[in-house]
Every structure is written in structure tokens, then in C-alpha cells.
Amino acid sequence: MLPRPESQSFTRFLVSTGAFLCLAAFLGPALVLRETDVLRVDTRELSALTSTGRAEVERRQHVARTAGEIAPYAGAVLLVGGIALLIVAVPRLRRQERADEARSEAELLHLQAAIEPQSEEEREEALEADARGDAGAPTDADLADAAERDEPTRAALRRQPNLRARMDRAREVEERVLRRIDELTPARYELARNVKLGGARRRLLLDGLLVSSSEELPDLLVEIKFTTVSVRNSLTNRLDEAIAKVVRYRRQVGRAAQAWLIVVTEEAVPREDLAWARGLARDLSGDVVLSVVAEDDIEQLRSPLGDLS
């Protein structure tokens, strides 16, 4: 996540310093006046001391008496200084907060204006690309090469799993995942389904977008990938795509963002494959949160946002 510039840091420092001085104005003198044991030395104990001892006790009594006399005035000075800092800093902090709120609102309005729903043709295009990218379906290169090959090769390609059926299944899985995300979405986020950003040449197609209403929290780009093969065979390219989308989103929108890559598998993933996948996600980028879930366990999907409600 890209850090936002902290324009309020100095003002917050002034507020903290002012509050500290006000507190010290009361605690400091109270502690000084409390430590007066040296002023209450018994006469007999004093007479029993040597001349050097009496001189040292008297010196300490003088210091304690002087500190006791100065403490109320020093406390008053600290109090005045603390109040002055608060008078200067609090209105400034409020102005900066209003400016930040206005900026965040402008960013949010800009994003909402830029978001458009995907057309059915674009949805089909995205589903087909995912289906072809998954092992077992013929890629565009396979189909192009098939025209130059012999009949047995072309027949073998035609025996690959039906592309239309794979697309329909991927669409159903995606809808189930989005319904689950809708249930998990906290109050500070709003879920936009199947949206796009940018023009025809620079489209950014997203399965889902969790838009944050707070500048402290990043937007979450939801990418849902259904695979019928091993996670090890399909994950690297998926992670690269998610990272590229995050970079493009930040550049186009100017907001902090992370990607939430949800890989839905046909069957439960072995533990060693899960550990490998999570390690790969950590190694490649901290900008991608990875969730791997079996198709039958979609309702058990957990949000990486935690409790933000």
C-alpha cells in the first residue's frame, strides 16, 4: 500500500506538546511540593550531625525551599505555554483535517465518476481469457497453430474441455464469491461488482472493487480466478496480473490500493501447496493478498480486511 503524505504531523506534534505542558503544569509542582521530607528534620537529629552533615542538610533544605517557592510559578508558565500551543495548533489541525476530508471526497468522487459497469461483451471477453489461460483449454496460439497442423492434431485440440462450459462455470463461481464478499464487506467499504476503469484502449477490468471511505484504508481490487488444475501450475501468472492491475489502478486513480486475489480450486488444496502459494505471494509482492479456497468451501471465505465495521 502506498503511504499517504502526513501533512498534519507537525500540527499534531504541537497539540501533543501543548497537552503535555498543561499536564506537567499540575503534576510537576505537585511532585516538588510532595518531596519535602528534607525540611522536616528533627532538631535532635540535626544537632547530632557533624558540622559537614549539618551544612549538607541545610543546603538541601535551601534547595527544597527554593524549589517549592518556584514550583507554582513554573507550573503557571507551563500552563500558559501549553494553552498557547493548543490555541495555535487546534484550529490549524481542524483546518488541515477539513482539507484532507475535502481531498479524500474529491478523490472518491473522481473514482466514482471513472467507474463503469462492464458490458456483457467485456464480461465474456474476461471469462474467455481466464478459461483459455487455465490449463486444459486451448490457447489462442494453440488455435492458430492448429490450422497449420495435421488432422489428428486438430482433432486432439477439439477434444479439449468445452470452452463455453468452462466459462459458464467460472461465471457461476465468480457470482458466488462476490455474494460472499458482499456479506463480508465492512461499513467503511462499498463493493462494486464487475466494473472497469479507463477508455477502450486502456481498460482495467475488475471482477470487484472494494472502495474505501476512509483515507487510512486502501481500496481493494478483487480478482477471482477459477482453476481446475494445480495451484502451482497457475498461480504465478495470476499474481503477476494482480500486481500489474494494482500498479495501473494507483496510477490512474491516485488512491492507495491492494489486490485481493481469490483462487477458487475444483478440489481442496493440499496443505503443502497452500503453504507454497502463500509464500510465493509474500515473496512476489506485499501488494497482493492471496486467498485460496475450494469450490465447495466458498461460503467459508474470510476477508483480509478484518473487523473494520
pLDDT per residue over 225-237, tens digit each?
Answer: 988 877 777 777 8
Residues 201 and 260 in one domain: yes
Q: Quick one: what percent of the chain has pLDDT higher than 70?
A: 71
Residues 79 and 120 in one domain: no
Residues 288 and 172 in one domain: yes
Cell 497449420, located at residue: 148
**Average pLDDT of 263-268?**
86
Residues 102 and 128 in one domain: no
Q: Is residue 124 domain-resident?
A: yes
Residues 101 and 186 in one domain: no
Grid cell in block for residue 304: 483480509
Cell 559537614, located at residue: 52
Q: Confirm if 220 and 257 have CB atoms less than 8 A apart.
A: yes
What does the pLDDT read at residue 139?
45
Pairing of strands 189-197, 257-265: unpaired
Number of domains in the chain: 2
Task: Note the pTM of the prediction, 2 decimals.
Answer: 0.59
Q: Which residue has the higher pLDDT, 177 or 157?
A: 177
**Average pLDDT of 136-160?**
48
Parent domain of 261: 115-135+163-300
Residues 75 and 87 in one domain: yes
Q: Is residue 142 domain-resident?
A: no
Residues 130 and 227 in one domain: yes
Q: Quick one: what percent of the chain has pLDDT higher than 90?
A: 8
- CATH number reported for the structural domain that contains residue 283 in this entry: 3.40.1350.10
Residue type (1 letter), 118:
Q
Residues 107 and 238 in one domain: no
Cell 462492464, located at residue: 118
Is 30 buried (19+), middle (13-18) or exposed (0-12) by CB count in 10 A? exposed
CB neighbours (10 Å) of residue 257? 23
Of 42, 77, 112, the position where a domain reaches its end is 112
Average pLDDT, the chain: 76
